[in-house]
Amino acid sequence: MEAVFSKEIQSGLDQARVEGMKKSSRLRVCVDGKKQTVLRMWKTGFAMEADAPDMRGMVDLYDGSIHLFRCLVVTSEAEAGERQYEFKRATAVRGTPALDFEVPEHTPAGLIADAR
């Protein structure tokens, strides 16, 4: 059986759902030094509140204070009380710089000095 609600009740339910996701989400997008809450994320995009700005270009995605991805946002559309953003690529951020040389297979872990 399918329940049919009035527009006012449905909009109230949608707003409560968005508020619940907003409180439980740690994901943030940083654009031009401003951080905004991400409601949910999937493999090729993420969703924010419906009144979120229309973004294009490079954005940084954080989980709390941990920098997760650098994303290239290409499209956005409003749907079901959310603004959904699709990204072309999401590059994982590393904690160490990329190596510009090949590391030999049997590299010593350290140097033991003779302290005589």
| Short-list 30, 49, 31, CA closest to 39 | 49
Which one has a higher pLDDT value, 95 or 71? 71
Grouping H, G, I as helix, E, B as strand and the rest as coil, residue 12 is: helix
Give one DSSP letter per residue of 20-87, joined into a string: HHHHH--EEEEETTEEEE--EEETTEEEEETTS----EEEEEEETTEEEEEEEEEEEEEETTEEEEEE
Predicted confidence (pLDDT) per residue in 15-63, tens digit: 766 666 656 668 899 888 888 889 888 999 999 888 888 888 999 999 8
